[in-house]
Amino acid sequence: MTAYPKTAALMRRGAEFLGSEHAILCGAMSWVSERNLVAAISNAGGFGVIACGAMTPDLLDAEIAGTKALTDKPFGVNLITMHPDLFDLIAVCGRHGVTHVVLAGGIPPKGSVEAIKEFGAKVIVFAPTLALAKKLLRSGGDALVIEGMEAGGHIGPVATGVLAQEFLPALAEEFVVFVAGGIGRGEAIAGFLEMGASGVQLGTRFACATESIAHPDFKKAFFRANARDAVASVQVDPRLPVIPVRALKNKGTEHFTAKQREVAALLDAGEVEMGDAQLQIERYWAGALRRAAIDGDIENGSLMAGQSVGMVTSEEPVAVIMDRLLAESEAALSRR
Ligand SMILES: Cc1cc2nc3c(=O)[nH]c(=O)nc-3n(C[C@H](O)[C@H](O)[C@H](O)COP(=O)(O)O)c2cc1C
């Protein structure tokens, strides 16, 4: 018996796919989605995802082992496709029998989906366009996350509500699709489920949970912030395409402008190739997020946060947040 029967009925396919009680993923957040938060999410009936980010294979190995020690529930691992050791990281997942691998940050390189499927794991992909989504789902992707520009971290150009209208009618009957970006309350979850989503993914809402190791000052910055404080980074040089990142505005926002100029100058001088230039930018973000989320330097670091940050007002255990989301969804569906 579930306390949320209407929500559970709409989430059934997503929950079966994930092997969790509820089809609510906590999207991988670099530095923040480590063993403690991931295990707490999965233990609360959701689906936690380890953010591999820039970790080495050895570090990922330790993180997966540490997570397994804290939960016997299913969880996933998020790998960034441009990581230079992607195939070694996949092998680490295979040795641990990881059941779900999320490939983020770009089109999966040749052979990566196959390498994951070889050890029986399910592959979750992102796609910015419907055409690419169809291609990835027909060539081995088992489920899709569509993520709108309201989200925290790296973002695309289109809002969640528009992506949902475009992708769900075309894909949701045949495929498992999760909706992410800007979700802060259960009423929104109910809406996307009714549109055909199999489940949802949230990041910002869980980043400041009690179990999150994020620095207390990072959490305080979230509690103080409004939706309009979570702004997208701006590309300063047309020759250097950077993926926009949504974060709370601070001095770090200005540092990023300076960093782009520095990398663009190296590009102009022929000292780096475009691929390396983009990798430098990504390393910059990883370092800046660590400074804020782990070291607590909320002035100069990156406070990656989505627009739902205005709905994050205090530190609460994951289980409390999860139950509230489900209760809100259930109440909304019951009122229909
Ligand atoms: C602090 C932070 C760090 C993030 N890091 C990553 C990451 O390393 N890899 C990734 O695929 N997504 C990352 N994301 C995106 C989340 O996984 C999730 O999809 C997103 O937060 C959902 O939107 P929301 O923030 O509006 O809930 C990050 C988000 C935040 C807020």
Taking the chain (336 residues) in consecutive chunks of 10 residues, what is each chunk's mean pLDDT? 94 98 98 98 98 96 98 98 95 98 95 98 97 96 98 97 98 98 98 98 98 98 98 92 95 92 93 91 94 98 98 98 98 97
282 lines ligand 1 (CB under 6 A): no
214 lines ligand 1 (CB under 6 A): no
In one letter, which amino acid is 336?
R
Give the residue, out of 26, 30, 282, with the most ligand 1 atoms within 8 A of its beta carbon, to mutate for a pocket test: 30
Q: Residue 154 Cα, ligand 1 centroid: separation in angstroms?
A: 7
53 lines ligand 1 (CB under 6 A): yes
CA dihedral over 310, 311, 313, 318, signed as positive or negative: negative
203 lines ligand 1 (CB under 6 A): yes
Q: Which atom of ligand 1 is nearest to the CA of 307?
A: 26
33 lines ligand 1 (CB under 6 A): no
C-alpha span between 176 and 83 (Å, rounded): 26
Predicted local distance difference test score (pLDDT) of residue 310: 98
Surface-to-core class of residue 34, CB atoms within 10 Å of its CB (0-12 exposed, 13-18 middle, 19+ buried): buried
C-alpha angle 255/245/300, rounded to 5°?
Answer: 30
Q: Going by CA atoms, what residue is nearest to atom 11 of ligand 1?
A: 104
Structural domains in the chain plus CATH codes: 5-213+312-335 (3.20.20.70), 223-307 (no CATH)
Inter-residue contact 51 to 34 (CB < 8 Å) = yes
C-alpha span between 209 and 146 (Å, rounded): 24
C-alpha span between 16 and 13 (Å, rounded): 5
Question: Which uninterrupted H or E stretch holds 80?
Answer: strand 75-80
Alpha carbon of 23 to those of 20, 101, 219: distances in Å? 7, 16, 25
Predicted local distance difference test score (pLDDT) of residue 31: 97
Beta strands 75-80; 100-104: pairing state: parallel
104 lines ligand 1 (CB under 6 A): yes
Predicted local distance difference test score (pLDDT) of residue 238: 87
C-alpha span between 208 and 32 (Å, rounded): 9
